[in-house]
C-alpha cells in the first residue's frame, strides 16, 4: 500500500519512527541523513535511480573533502512507494573521489551505472526487518588522501587531538591509527602539498601565519548589510550574491544554507547575532512556554514559532537559502581548496570549477577576476568547457533584467600601517583587461593617475561598478579603506548604511576599514556617517566568543585636493646647484642614487615633504635641504611660517584606530588658515620644537656649513622670529623647557659650539646611551633625557589642545 506524503520531511519522520530511530538523525551538508554507516537520500518518489544515486555520491564526495567518515552504504528511499535501493559506496569510490561544485541536487542527469542495487520493499514485514539489518551495520568506506581532502582531515585531526603538531599529522596520514577505519595510508610526498602547507598547521599556527583574513564577528555584522540589500530586491526578481575575491569564504560564513523555517533555535547563533536572537526569543517567550514547554528548547524550529504571529518575524531579518544564491571565485590554490571544503556544496557556483584545479601551481587557472576571460567571457585556449560555461552563466545572470546583483567583496588591498598585503597574490596588472579599461576612465575619477589604476583594490571596485552592477536595484557591500570614496570618486552611488571596522583583527595594523552598502543609483554626497565597531576578544585565542563593541558614529568627509597648492614652487636667480642631498634622518646622503637637482640659497631654511592625502610617518619629512628623491619643496625665509601648518597637519597623532585611514590632509579650506596669525604662530612653535623636525647643523661635503635655522637655539632665524610674538603661558613654558634641555645638552661630551641644536639632533647625537645585559637602555646623561621627555610630553599636549582643533577648522585635516 503506497503512502501520500506531501513533503519529504513528513515522510522522513514516519520512516525513522517505524524503524525506532530518532527523527533527529544527523542532517549534514543538506543530505537527508546519516545513521551509523548508512547515508540516506529520501525522495517522495524515485523515477530515475541513477540521478538520485549521483546526488548521494556528490554528498559523499563533500563528506570526504570535509574530513568526515564516508558511510559504506547508500540507501535511496522512495517514501510514497515504500521502496528502498541499497548500494555499496565502495563501488563508486572513483566517483566519490572526484570534486563537484555547487548543489548536489543539480546537474545529475548524465550519470549512469550498471551496478544493480538491492531492492527492499519495506511496506511488508520482511522488508522492514531487512532495513533493520542494514541499519545495524556501521562500516565505512576508506578514502585516499589528496590535495583536495587533506585540509578537511587535518582540521579534524587537530580538533580530535588538540595537542598534536604537523609532524604527528603526517605520521597519522602515512600510517593511520586514529583514522584507521576511514582512510588509506597516504603514500605521497610532502611536496605534493607545497602550495597549501600552511593550511595544514594546527589552528594556532594558522592564526599566526594569517590564514584567517576577515574576523567572524565582522563577517556577521556585514551579513546584515547583505540582507538589507536582499530585502530591497524588487518583488518578482531573483538575486545573486557575487564575491569575485572570496578567499576562503569568510564573508559567506553566516549566510543561510537552508529554509528559514527549518532553522532550529540551537542553530540561530550561526546566522544572526546574539542581540537579535535574544530579542526574537523574548518576543516568542509566551509562545514557547504555552506550546513547547515539553520540547527540547534548542530543537524547536523557526517554522514552528512563526506559526504564531507576534511583533517580530525572523523572515524580516534572514532569508531562505542565501548561500544557494551565491557565486564565489578565488585565485590561490590554497584558498580554493578551503573555499570548496567549506561551502562548495552549498553555493550556486564556484569559479573556477573543479576541472581547472590542480596542485601543479600556486594559482588557479581562470581565477583572475580581472582578466578578459573572466570579465567578458572571451574563450581562452586551455580552459575547460566547464569553465567557459560557468563564466557564460555568470554573464547571463548579470544581463538578466529579472535578476539583481549583490556584489559582496573584501578586495585585496595594501596595508599602509603594516608590511603585508592582505588577501592578495603577486599578480601584475600590466596588460590585464580591467587595468587597461580603467586607465581610459581615469579622466572621470578624482585625484587619479595611472597608480590609481594599478591598485588591485581600485580595479575590483571600478570593475564591479562597470561590469557587474548594471541595474538601479543592484547593490555593492564593500570592505575597503575609505579612500576609494573619500578621494578617488569610486563610490559616487547611493549610500544606504555602513560600518567602520578595526583592521587590527585582519592581521594588519590598527586602522579603519569601511564596510558599506551602496545602491546603484548615482549620488554624490560630501559626508558619510559610519558606526565604528571594535572587537572584544575576551582575551582568548578563539574567535567564536568574540563580540562586537560599538564605539561611536564617525563622520567622514570627502576630500578634493592634497596640500600641493600650498607648496612653494618658486625659484630664485641666485639659487645655486649642489651635490648635497639629505636622508630622512637629516644626515647628508652618501652612496645612494638621487633624483632631480638640489639647490642652496641663503633664503632656503629647510625642505618640507608633505605628500599625498595620507597621514602616516612616511608622508612627512622636515629637513635642512633637498631630500634624496625630492618630492617636496623649499622653505624660504620670507614665508616659511606660512608653510609649517602643513608639517603640523601631517603629524596628527591618530590615537584611535578609527581615525587612521579616515582623516586626510587637504587644501580644501583654501587660504583661510593664513588669516589666523595666532594659528600660524602655534604651528611655528610646534615645528621648531618637534622631534619630527629632522633639521641638523653640520658641515656638508660641498664645503658649506648647514646651520639649523628652524630651532630656538641662539642666533637662528626661528629664535629671532619668535620674539615678534606674544606668547601664552604654555608657550613660554615650552620655550623655557627647551632652554633647560639645551643647557643640559651643552654639558655633554659631543656638544659642538658651532652648531645650533633642535630637539632631534640633541636626542640623536648628544643624548648618548647603551644597552645593558638585560637589554635595557642606560643613559649617559639622565637629566638631559628627562628634560627631552618632559618637552615631548608638553608639546604633545599643546598640539592636541591648541593646534589640532584648528587643523580641522581650516580643513588642513578632513
Tens digit of each residue's pLDDT (9 = 90 or more) over 324-333: 999 999 988 8
> Does the pLDDT of residue 247 top 70, yes or no?
yes
C-alpha cell at 507: 592581521
Largest CA distance in the chain: 111
Give me the pLDDT at residue 426, please.
40
Q: Which three cell numbers stand for residue 552?
A: 561611536
| Per-residue pLDDT tens over the stretch 256-304 | 999 999 999 999 999 999 999 999 999 999 999 998 887 889 989 999 9
Mean pLDDT within 106-111? 73
Cα–Cα distance for residue pair 274/595, rounded to 1 Å: 58
The CA–CA distances, whole Å, from 708 to 274, 645, 681 equal 60, 19, 19
pLDDT per residue as tens digits for the range 383-428: 888 889 899 999 999 999 999 999 999 998 753 333 333 444 444 4
Kindly report, residue by residue over 546-591, the tens digit of the pLDDT: 889 999 999 999 999 999 999 999 999 999 999 999 999 999 999 9
Q: With beta carbons less than 8 A apart as the criterion, state whether 381 and 450 touch.
A: no
pLDDT surpasses 60 at 208: no
**If DSSP codes are grouped into helix, strand and coil, which group holds residue 280?**
helix
Could you tell me which residues come within 8 angstroms of residue 588 by beta carbon, excluding any fewer than 6 positions away?
580, 581, 582, 698, 700, 701
User: In the prediction, which pLDDT does 24 show?
Assistant: 52
Are the C-beta atoms of 579 and 701 separated by less than 8 Å? yes
pLDDT digits (tens, 9 = 90+) for 341-371: 889 989 999 998 887 787 777 788 888 999 9
Q: What is the mean pLDDT of the chain?
A: 90
Residue pLDDT, tens place only, 770-795 = 999 989 999 999 999 999 999 999 99
Please tell me whether the peptide bond between 425 and the residue prior to it is cis, using omega within 30 degrees of 0: no
In terms of residues, how long is the chain?
Answer: 814
Closest to 249 in 3D by CA, of 195, 328, 319: 328
Q: 690-733, pLDDT tens digit by residue? A: 999 999 999 999 999 999 999 999 999 999 999 999 999 999 99
Q: If you search the block for the grid coordinates 570592505, which residue do you land on?
A: 479
The Cα–Cα gap between 143 and 173 comes to 12
Domain 216-257+322-557, CATH number (from 3.40.50.11540, 3.40.50.150, 3.30.1540.20, 3.30.420.280): 3.40.50.150
What local confidence, expressed as pLDDT, does residue 541 receive?
63
Backbone dihedral angles phi then psi of residue 148, each to the nearest 5 degrees: -85, -30
Query: Do the bridges between strand 38-43 and strand 73-78 make them parallel or antiparallel, or are there none, so unpaired?
Result: parallel
**Mean pLDDT throughout 189-208?**
68
Residue 14's pLDDT band, with cuts at 50, 70 and 90, is confident
pLDDT band, residue 647 (cuts 50/70/90)? very high
At 365 the pLDDT is: 83
Provide CATH 3.40.50.150 ranges for the chain. Answer: 216-257+322-557
pLDDT for position 256: 97
Residues 6+ away with beta carbon under 8 Å from 360: none
**pLDDT given at position 108:** 65
What are the cell numbers at 52?
A: 538520485
DSSP-based three-state secondary structure for 647: helix
Q: What is the pLDDT of residue 25?
A: 57
User: Under DSSP, is residue 289 helix (H, G, I), strand (E, B) or coil?
Assistant: helix
Q: Spell out the residues 6+ positions from residue 772 whose beta carbon is closer than 8 angstroms to its own.
A: 778
Highest mean pLDDT among 30-39, 100-109, 748-757: 748-757
State how far the Cα of 143 lies from the Cα of 149, in Å rounded to an integer: 10
Amino acid at each position: 500500500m503506497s503512502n501520500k506524503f506531501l513533503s519529504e520531511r513528513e515522510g522522513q519522520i514516519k520512516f525513522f519512527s517505524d524503524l525506532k530511530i530518532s527523527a533527529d538523525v544527523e542532517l549534514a551538508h543538506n543530505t537527508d541523513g546519516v545513521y551509523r554507516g548508512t547515508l540516506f537520500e529520501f525522495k517522495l518518489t524515485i523515477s530515475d535511480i541513477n540521478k538520485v544515486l549521483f546526488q548521494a555520491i556528490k554528498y559523499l564526495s563533500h563528506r570526504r573533502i570535509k574530513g568526515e567518515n564516508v558511510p559504506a552504504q547508500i540507501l535511496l528511499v522512495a517514501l510514497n512507494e515504500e521502496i528502498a535501493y541499497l548500494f555499496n559506496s565502495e563501488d563508486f569510490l572513483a566517483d566519490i573521489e572526484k570534486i563537484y561544485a555547487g548543489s548536489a541536487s543539480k546537474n545529475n542527469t548524465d550519470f549512469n551505472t550498471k551496478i544493480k542495487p538491492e531492492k527492499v520493499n519495506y511496506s511488508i514485514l520482511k522488508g522492514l526487518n531487512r532495513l533493520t539489518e542494514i541499519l545495524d551495520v556501521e562500516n565505512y568506506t576508506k578514502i585516499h588522501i589528496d590535495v583536495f581532502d587533506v585540509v578537511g582531515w587535518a582540521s579534524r585531526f587537530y580538533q580530535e587531538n588538540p595537542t598534536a603538531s604537523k609532524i604527528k599529522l603526517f605520521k597519522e596520514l602515512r600510517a593511520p591509527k586514529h583514522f584507521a577505519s576511514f582512510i588509506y595510508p597516504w603514500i605521497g610526498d610532502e611536496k605534493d602539498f607545497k602550495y597549501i602547507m600552511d593550511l595544514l598547521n594546527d589552528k594556532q599556527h594558522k592564526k599566526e601565519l594569517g590564514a584567517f583574513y576577515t574576523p567572524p564577528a565582522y563577517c556577521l555584522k556585514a551579513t546584515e548589510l547583505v540582507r538589507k540589500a536582499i530585502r530591497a530586491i524588487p518583488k518578482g526578481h531573483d538575486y545573486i550574491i557575487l564575491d569575485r575575491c572570496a578567499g576562503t569564504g569568510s564573508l559567506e560564513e553566516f549566510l543561510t544554507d537552508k529554509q528559514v523555517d527549518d532553522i532550529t533555535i540551537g542553530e540561530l547563533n550561526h546566522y544572526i547575532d546574539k542581540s537579535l536572537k535574544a530579542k526574537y526569543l523574548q518576543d516568542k517567550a509566551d509562545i514557547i512556554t504555552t506550546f513547547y514547554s515539553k520540547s527540547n528548547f534548542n530543537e524547536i524550529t523557526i517554522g514552528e514559532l512563526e506559526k504564531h504571529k507576534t511583533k517580530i518575524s525572523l523572515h524580516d531579518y534572514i532569508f531562505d537559502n542565501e548561500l544557494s544564491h551565491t557565486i564565489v571565485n578565488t585565485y590561490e590554490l590554497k584558498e580554493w581548496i578551503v573555499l570548496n571544503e567549506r561551502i562548495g556544496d552549498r553555493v550556486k557556483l564556484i569559479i573556477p570549477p573543479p576541472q581547472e584545479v590542480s596542485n601543479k601551481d600556486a594559482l588557479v587557472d581562470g581565477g583572475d577576476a580581472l582578466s578578459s576571460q573572466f570579465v567578458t567571457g572571451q574563450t581562452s585556449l586551455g580552459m575547460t568547457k566547464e569553465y567557459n560555461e560557468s563564466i557564460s552563466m555568470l554573464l547571463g545572470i548579470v544581463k538578466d533584467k529579472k535578476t539583481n546583483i549583490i556584489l559582496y567583496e573584501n578586495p585585496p588591498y595594501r596595508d599602509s600601517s603594516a608590511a603585508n598585503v592582505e588577501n592578495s597574490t603577486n599578480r601584475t596588472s600590466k596588460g590585464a583587461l580591467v587595468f587597461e579599461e580603467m586607465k581610459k576612465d581615469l579622466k572621470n575619477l578624482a585625484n587619479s593617475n595611472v597608480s590609481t589604476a594599478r591598485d588591485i583594490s581600485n580595479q575590483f571596485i571600478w570593475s564591479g561598478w562597470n561590469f557587474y552592477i548594471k541595474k538601479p536595484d543592484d547593490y555593492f557591500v564593500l570592505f575597503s579603506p575609505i579612500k576609494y570614496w573619500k578621494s578617488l570618486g569610486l563610490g559616487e552611488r547611493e549610500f544606504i548604511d555602513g560600518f567602520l571596522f578595526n583592521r587590527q583583527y585582519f592581521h594588519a595594523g590598527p586602522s579603519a576599514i569601511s564596510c558599506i552598502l551602496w545602491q546603484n543609483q548615482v549620488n554624490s554626497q560630501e559626508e558619510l556617517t559610519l558606526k565604528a565597531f571594535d572587537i572584544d576578544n575576551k582575551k582568548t585565542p578563539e574567535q567564536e566568543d568574540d563580540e562586537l563593541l560599538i564605539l561611536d558614529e564617525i563622520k567622514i568627509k570627502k576630500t578634493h585636493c592634497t596640500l600641493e597648492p600650498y607648496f612653494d614652487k618658486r625659484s630664485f636667480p641666485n639659487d645655486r646647484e649642489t651635490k648635497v642631498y639629505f636622508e630622512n634622518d637629516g644626515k647628508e646622503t652618501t652612496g645612494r642614487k638621487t633624483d632631480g637637482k638640489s639647490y642652496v640659497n641663503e633664503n632656503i631654511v629647510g625642505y618640507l615633504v608633505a605628500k599625498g592625502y595620507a597621514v602616516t610617518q612616511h608622508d612627512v619629512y622636515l629637513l635642512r635641504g633637498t631630500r634624496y628623491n625630492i618630492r617636496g619643496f623649499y622653505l624660504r625665509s620670507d614665508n616659511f611660517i606660512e608653510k609649517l601648518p602643513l608639517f603640523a597637519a601631517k603629524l596628527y597623532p591618530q590615537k584611535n584606530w578609527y581615525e587612521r585611514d579616515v582623516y586626510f590632509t587637504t587644501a580644501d579650506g583654501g587660504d583661510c588658515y593664513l588669516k589666523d596669525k595666532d594659528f600660524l604662530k602655534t604651528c611655528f612653535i610646534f615645528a621648531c620644537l618637534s622631534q619630527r623636525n629632522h633639521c641638523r647643523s653640520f658641515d656638508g661635503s660641498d664645503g658649506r656649513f648647514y646651520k639649523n635655522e628652524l630651532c630656538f637655539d641662539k642666533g637662528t632665524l626661528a629664535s629671532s622670529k619668535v620674539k615678534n610674538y606674544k606668547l601664552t603661558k604654555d608657550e613660554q613654558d615650552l620655550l623655557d623647557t627647551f632652554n633647560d634641555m639645551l643647557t643640559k645638552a651643552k654639558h655633554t661630551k659631543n656638544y659642538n659650539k658651532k652648531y645650533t641644536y633642535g630637539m632631534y639632533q640633541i636626542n640623536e647625537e648628544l643624548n648618548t646611551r647603551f644597552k645593558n645585559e638585560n637589554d635595557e637602555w642606560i643613559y649617559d646623561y639622565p637629566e638631559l633625557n628627562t628634560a627631552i621627555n618632559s618637552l615631548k610630553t608638553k608639546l604633545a599636549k599643546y598640539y592636541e589642545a591648541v593646534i589640532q582643533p584648528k587643523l580641522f577648522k581650516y580643513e588642513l585635516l578632513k
